[in-house]
Structure 1
Amino acid sequence: MRVSIFTSCVVDLMFPNVGIAMVEVLERLGCEVDFPEKQICCGQPTFNSGYEKKSKATLINQLEAFENSDYVVGGAGSCVGMLREYPELLKDDEVYYPKAVELAEKTYEFSQFIYRVLGLTDVGACYEGKATYHRSCHMTRLLGEREAPFVLLDNVAGLEMIPLGHIENCCGFGGTFSVKMPEISEQMVTEKMNDVINTGADTLISADMGCLMNIGGKFNRDGNPIKIMHIAEVLNSNVDTSRIQLSSEVAN
C-alpha cells in the first residue's frame, strides 16, 4: 500500500519530528511511504482570509502533487479537512472538480488512516505517563472523527489517558482567527490551559500541531510545565512490534 505524506506547513517548517514519526509508524505498519516534493500549503489561510480566486492556484498545485498517490495521509486535521473541501471549492471547474473529488476520497488524517483504513487499534507503542487529549475543531467538524485517536491512545501500553473537561471547546488558535482577534483567542486558550491543568496530566496530546503550538505557547508564557506531543510521536514511542497485527491488505 503506497501512502503519500502531507505534512502541513506547521509540521514542515516547525515540527519536522512529527513528520518523521508519521513516516516511521506507517512504514512499520507495512506501508510504502513517499513525500511528493511538489506539495505546498493546503490553501486554507488565504481562502479563509477571503482570497478565494487567488487560492485556486494553490489548490490546483496540491491536486497535481498528489495525483498519483494511492492514499494521502496528513498530520493535521485542519489541513486534511481543507483537502476534503476541494470538491466544493472547485465544483464549477470541469477540469479540476473530478480531480478534487478523487483527492478528497483518498485523503485521511494520520490516526484516522491507521484506524479506518488499516483497521488497527494497537500499533505496539509504549509511553509511561499521564496524558490528556485535545480534540481539534477540524477533526470533529470537518472530518467527523471522534473515535480514532482515542482508540489508538487507549492501546498505548503504560499510558493513562485522563478525560479533558470541555473537550468540545476550541483552543483559540483557528489559524488566522488568533491573529485577527487576539484578545478573544487569549481568553479561549487560557480556558483550555486551565482545563488541561485540572486533569493533572503531564502530557498534552493532539492530532494538530497548530493547536498544540498555541496551547503549549500559553503554558510556556505562564511558566507552567507541560509536554506537548503529536499523536504520531506517541504512537512511535518504545514500540513492541510483536503486538502489531497487520491487516491482510497491508501484510500482502
Structure 2
Amino acid sequence: MNVELFIPCFVDQLYPTTAANTVKVLEKAGCKVIYNPEQTCCGQPAYNAGFWDEAKEVGTKFLNDFSEQNYIVSPSASCTGMVKNGYNDLFFNTAIHNKCKSIQGNIHELSEFLINVAKKDYFGAELLGKAVYHDSCAALRECKIKEEPRLLLEKVLGLEIVPMKDQEVCCGFGGTFAVKFSGISSAMAEQKVMNALDVGAEYIISTDASCLLQLQAYIVQKNLPIKTMHLADVLATGWGNV
C-alpha cells in the first residue's frame, strides 16, 4: 500500500522525531511511505486568522504537492481537518474543485488510517505507566475521531489508559487563541493538566502536537511530574529501529 506522508509545518519544525516515528509506524503497518520534500503548510494559520486569499494560495500548493492516486496520512488531526473541511470554503466551484475533492477523500489522520484503512492495531509498543488520552478539538469535532487512538493505545504493553474529568474539553491552544487570549488559554491548560494529575497520570497522549506543546509548556513552567507524548511516539516506543 502506497502512502504519501504529510508532515505539517508545525511538526516539521518542532517535533521532527514524531515525523520520523510516523514513518516507522506506517512501514511496520506494511505501507510504502512516499515523502515529497517540497511540501510546506496546509494554510490553516492564515485561514483561521481570516486571510483566506493567502490560505488559498498555500492550499493550492498543498493540492499540487500531493497526488490523487494514493492515501495521504498525517500525524495531525488539526491539519487533516483543515484539508477535509476548510478547503470546502477555499476551493468550492474553482478550477481545482475536483482535485480538491479527490485529495479530501484520500487524506487521513494517522490513528484513523491505521484502524480503519490499514486494519492494524498492534505494533509491539511498550510503555510502562498510567496515561490519559486528550481528545483534541480537531480530532473529535472536525475528523470525528474518538475510538481509533484508544484502540491503538489499548494494545501498548504496560500502558494503562484512565479516564479523566472533562475529557473532551479544549486544552486552550486554538492557534492564535493562545496568543490573543493568553490568560484564558493558560487557565484551560492548567485545568487539563490538573485533571490528568488528579487521576495519577504520568503521561498525556494526543494526536495533535499543537495541544501537546500547549500542555507541555504549562507542565515545564510549573515543574509538574507529568509529560506529554504524541500517539506516533507512543506506538514507536519499545521496539527501537525494527
Q: TM-score, normalised by structure 2?
A: 0.95
The aligned amino acid for 2:28 is: R
- Give me the whole-angstrom Cα distance separating, in 1, the residues matched to 2:26 and 2:231: 13
Q: Is 2:147 aligned against 1:130?
A: no
Note if contact 2:74-2:110 (Cα within 8 Å) is conserved in structure 1. yes
Q: How many Å separate the matches in 2 of 1:168 and 1:132?
A: 11
* 1:108 aligns to 2:108 (yes or no): yes
Deviations 1:164-197 (A, max 9, x none): 2201100000011111111111111111111111
Which residue of structure 1 aligns with residue 46 of structure 2? 46
Shift of 1:68: 5.1
1:21 is matched by which residue type in structure 2? N
- Three-state SS of the structure 1 residue aligned to 2:39 is coil
> Residue 237 of structure 1: CA displacement?
1.5
Q: Is contact 1:37-1:65 (8 Å) kept?
A: no
Q: Which residue of 2 aligns with 1:24?
A: 24
Q: How many residues align?
A: 239
The 5-angstrom pairing of residues 70-81 of structure 1 reads 70-81=70-81
Tell me which amino acid in the other structure corresponds to 2:53: K
Q: Any idea what SS the aligned residue of 2:220 has? A: helix
1:190 has 2:195 as partner: no
Q: How does 1:29-178 map to 2 (within 5 A)?
A: 29-67=29-67, 70-85=70-85, 86-93=87-94, 95-178=95-178
Q: Which amino acid aligns with 2:35?
A: F
In 1, Cα distance between equivalents of 2:163 and 2:69: 36
Shift of 1:44: 0.7
Question: C-alpha distance in 1, partners of 2:2/2:215?
Answer: 34
How much does 1:227 deviate? Answer: 2.1
Query: In structure 1, how many angstroms separate the alpha carbons of the residues matched to 2:204 and 2:140?
Result: 18
How far is 1:116 from its partner?
Answer: 0.8
Counterpart Cα distance in 2 of 1:164 and 1:17: 28
1:247: which partner in 2? Answer: none
Q: For structure 1, which runs of at least 5 residues remain unmatched after alignment?
A: 241-252
Shift of 1:40: 1.0
C-alpha distance in 2 between matches for 1:54 and 1:234:
35
Q: CA deviation digits over 1:88-114, x for unaligned, max 9? A: 421121x21111101110000011100
Give distance in 1, aligned partners of 2:69 and 2:62. 11
- 1:222 maps to what in 2? 222
Determine helix, strand or coil for the equivalent of 1:26: helix
1:193-237 Cα deviation digits (max 9, x unpaired) = 111111211111111010001001101101112221110111111
Question: Are the aligned partners of 1:134 and 1:164 in contact in 2 as well (CA < 8 Å)?
Answer: no
Distance in 1 between residues matched to 2:34 and 2:69, nearest whole Å: 9
State the alpha-carbon separation in 2 of the partners of residues 122 and 88 from structure 1.
37
CA distance in 2, matches of 1:227, 1:48: 28
Q: Could you tell me how far 1:239 is from its partner in structure 2?
A: 3.5
Take 1:169 and 1:151, find their aligned partners in 2: how far apart are those partners? 20
2: CA distance, partners of 1:158 / 1:232: 17
SS at match of 1:141: helix
Instruction: Please tell me the root mean square deviation across aligned C-alpha atoms, in Å.
Output: 1.3
Check conservation: 2:68, 2:102, Cα contact below 8 A.
no
* Aligned counterpart, 1:245: none
Amino acid at match of 2:131: A
